[in-house]
Structure 1
């Protein structure tokens, strides 16, 4: 199978926001407790954080992290997680039917985020609570001192404000499962008043309003229109969530679901444009795709468990084991976010540790990187700069998710400061290799400096505590530059990162 690809330095989609490679972590299952925080673990630091997990997180170079939820936040009392730990209440978490000990709260998480080199994106409870509590949380977190709440924070040992600039106005408020679920108009009005209050406090704050929980909700995309008509002028982003599965076992149809994501983004982009025009607004609203991942391996079994168990503390929940097929899918999804980076400015893998996560950690035991860790990492490390509009001429296939899906998935990023060009390529064909021919317009001095590859594995192969590096990237071969074009052979079901010096 042959594929012709055209890359030109002047065919720019736009500058990628670094926050496209952000993450999400929730007080859910073992994401926090025995995930990032386990005081009795051999690797724990003085604050109780697992340094083995922290190292894996640091290596991802994550720009921002959404916290503390998720469904959890819609019944969360932020003040339960502050002050002396021995005085903090244990509460029932209605979302995941478990006990929350509140041993990690905003100040502890801020310490961890600073160690990890990550900016916080905090979510406020607009489910069971509202504007006044959100305003109090903001003041506690961000005001320097001299008020009741800021001085309360200082009395808790946190002298400087956290200065959080990104705030999520609730979570999945379109979902009937959500504590405090509201209609679009009810929620839109509340989000508008909350965003107004936050911007009166600090006009540089960015507000993220809840869009649809997924593109199969019966209220989608009318929810987005109604919500934005209530709050458009006071918000900066609208959130999208989408999880992916291959319950049918049809790999090509699974890969084709990337096209659904593109349609989802395009539809909400059109909705944003419609509301902007209708309101004669001057500001722009972008997309924050703040929950995404593969999620299906354990969902049915875990669903039965958490709906019937007796309020455990930090139970094992949704601890997906990701295979090589999932890694290829995540690679394609990262490519789609790059191609849609004119609309999608922030995206958060959900979640970061243990719960549907690229990093797993056994309680008292080892931590390891799952297969999906690597394409996420490479996009974060090398996908910063200008997204390029790339033309791909390759064989296509039809599937349930979409028609005319290219077997070759390609995204490209030109980093003008570093003088590098990176191509992220997935050959989705199950049996055939690709004879690659890439025209590099505007890059006359291109020189291949690195070729990373993930290939040659059974699609169901996984990493595990016993074999933590069974599936890892290796140095590729067989690709080079001939007469100004990139040529070579890409094996079936393989992922490639081609990095060029173009200075």
Structure 2
């Protein structure tokens, strides 16, 4: 058995966690909208066509914010196509994913749906084929009270009160040659500056997200951030990060270490932002919006076989394994370790498309393996992120060296007087004995120890059988300010500690 130690000090804090770090993403892609959150005629659809079964699974996740409508989709999207009477909405060729977009579902439908599941809207504007004028019209339609063309049009569509959308993305992955309207860093920096300026003239209360690098393999990373932020720094509030991982070579030891790459990505962007801040002698701290992250690779070959120009085909429908859930858990831990700067994050995506929730058109829905670490972090990871001092044995893999077997972070909820320890044992062979010193918090007991484990790293969940699901039979105890636990090989854990009552 391996042995690891962790110390939690009440004063060793990272930051208060912005709940939006547990956000997600719905794009007009595949069956995310049509057949996912929206399916009129489904036996469990409500009067607006929203699937109640899906909404229940999402509500359980307590998703605080959902990004919309893309993604690559937004760079060719005319938002006006998705408002007004449905019979007047045009069908269009959707070039990003080579499908037919019916526009049956649009801005107002999404706002209604987001409110129904208790989430805020994170709206993206098209800076690919369009620009400043489209953005100012959209925010006027969504946020202005009335008395103008676009705000009064919203009222005619049945929405007397403004949508009051606070968070806006200035385009999507504009550094990528695959993107419609791809722009150099200089082009994007100038356009995003002017767009942000005008949008904030319409509504000074909003916050905006500048596009960063699409991933760490981009040849312009991190120069794209440095150049664009040099132009728009004072006008924007966040810079975006996107990253996906896959176990294409079936090297699980390396795959489970990819959260170290994620950590390096975040640190690089933080330092790039701080360099621009120093260069400009600015007092403003740039925060990060990690608004696309997940595992994505299972569906790559199947997607090549999809017939183009169909409506809502099954695109990007990764069926996730147990080992995928472990990496998602570690990625959540990494985001929490950077809660001082990462204020928004969006698991991409929410339903059917590289998602924790899957559906059958006209049929049932189910939780994928990755649903559970996302659920646990969102529900129990509210409060203050603590900076743990960890001592763990390490291993080397083909892609990484000095990988700690223990990946862990803790969150203190002062209102509930609870501590949640999130942990992954990366070892493929050995259990790990964890000793955690929490004496600075006083007398705490183990309220619950949740475990996600499975002997088969490739185990998946289906509509018929949920093979990978958590249990609450974890082996842990607390006494005199010390917690001891046994973490089985390759497993995810949530150790919930509650203050003892005399």
Q: TM-score range by the shorter chain?
A: over 0.9
| Structure-2 residue corresponding to 1:389 | 387
Query: How much has 1:8 moved relative to structure 2?
Result: 1.1
Question: What is the TM-score when the length of structure 2 is the normalising length?
Answer: 0.98
| Structure-2 residue corresponding to 1:41 | 42
Question: What is the TM-score when the length of structure 1 is the normalising length?
Answer: 0.98
Question: Is 1:254 the counterpart of 2:251 in the alignment?
Answer: no
Hey, what's the Cα distance between the residues in 1 that align with 2:342 and 2:241? 10
| 2:8 counterpart SS class | strand
| Structure-2 residue corresponding to 1:189 | 190
| Structure-2 residue corresponding to 1:490 | 487
| Structure-2 residue corresponding to 1:90 | 91
| Structure-1 residue corresponding to 2:440 | 442
| Structure-1 residue corresponding to 2:8 | 7
Hey, what's the Cα distance between the residues in 2 that align with 1:481 and 1:101? 57
| 1:305 counterpart SS class | coil
Hey, what's the Cα distance between the residues in 2 that align with 1:256 and 1:462? 21
8 Å Cα contact 2:439-2:480 kept in structure 1:
no
Hey, what's the Cα distance between the residues in 1 that align with 2:247 and 2:145? 49
| 1:229 counterpart SS class | helix
Hey, what's the Cα distance between the residues in 2 that align with 1:131 and 1:382? 40
| Structure-2 residue corresponding to 1:218 | 219
Query: How much has 1:200 moved relative to structure 2?
Result: 1.6
Hey, what's the Cα distance between the residues in 1 that align with 2:415 and 2:235? 34
Question: Is 1:105 the counterpart of 2:109 in the alignment?
Answer: no
Gaps of 5+ in 2: none
Hey, what's the Cα distance between the residues in 2 that align with 1:29 and 1:423? 36
Hey, what's the Cα distance between the residues in 2 that align with 1:269 and 1:57? 31
| Structure-2 residue corresponding to 1:369 | 367
Query: How much has 1:300 moved relative to structure 2?
Result: 2.9
8 Å Cα contact 2:24-2:345 kept in structure 1:
yes
Hey, what's the Cα distance between the residues in 2 that align with 1:141 and 1:152? 10
Query: How much has 1:391 moved relative to structure 2?
Result: 1.4
Hey, what's the Cα distance between the residues in 2 that align with 1:225 and 1:165? 25
Q: How does 1:68-467 map to 2 (within 5 A)?
A: 68-302=69-303, 304-306=304-306, 309-467=307-465
Hey, what's the Cα distance between the residues in 2 that align with 1:17 and 1:143? 27
Hey, what's the Cα distance between the residues in 1 that align with 2:204 and 2:275? 25
Hey, what's the Cα distance between the residues in 2 that align with 1:477 and 1:109? 40
Query: How much has 1:401 moved relative to structure 2?
Result: 3.6
Gaps of 5+ in 1: none
8 Å Cα contact 2:319-2:368 kept in structure 1:
yes
| 1:92 counterpart SS class | strand
Hey, what's the Cα distance between the residues in 2 that align with 1:220 and 1:305? 31
| 1:442 counterpart SS class | helix
Distance 1:128 1:478, change over 3 A: same
Question: Is 1:24 the counterpart of 2:25 in the alignment?
Answer: yes
Query: How much has 1:101 moved relative to structure 2?
Result: 0.4
Hey, what's the Cα distance between the residues in 1 that align with 2:409 and 2:279? 34
| 1:122 counterpart SS class | strand
Hey, what's the Cα distance between the residues in 2 that align with 1:268 and 1:310? 37
Hey, what's the Cα distance between the residues in 1 that align with 2:231 and 2:375? 37
Hey, what's the Cα distance between the residues in 1 that align with 2:175 and 2:340? 25
8 Å Cα contact 2:449-2:475 kept in structure 1:
no
| 2:451 counterpart SS class | strand
Hey, what's the Cα distance between the residues in 1 that align with 2:420 and 2:117? 25
Hey, what's the Cα distance between the residues in 1 that align with 2:166 and 2:230? 24
| 2:256 counterpart SS class | helix
8 Å Cα contact 1:259-1:401 kept in structure 2:
no
8 Å Cα contact 2:10-2:441 kept in structure 1:
yes
Between the two proteins, the alignment pairs up a number of residues equal to 499
Hey, what's the Cα distance between the residues in 2 that align with 1:481 and 1:319? 42
Query: How much has 1:127 moved relative to structure 2?
Result: 0.2
Hey, what's the Cα distance between the residues in 2 that align with 1:414 and 1:26? 33
Query: How much has 1:329 moved relative to structure 2?
Result: 0.7
| Structure-1 residue corresponding to 2:64 | 63
Q: 2:470 aligns with which of 450, 468, 473?
A: 473
Hey, what's the Cα distance between the residues in 2 that align with 1:132 and 1:488? 58
Query: How much has 1:477 moved relative to structure 2?
Result: 3.3
Hey, what's the Cα distance between the residues in 1 that align with 2:437 and 2:105? 52
Query: How much has 1:301 moved relative to structure 2?
Result: 3.0
Task: Tell me the alpha carbon deviations over residues 319-368 of structure 1, each in whole angstroms, 9 at most, x when there is no partner.
Answer: 01001000111111100000011121110000000000000001011100
Hey, what's the Cα distance between the residues in 2 that align with 1:265 and 1:30? 31
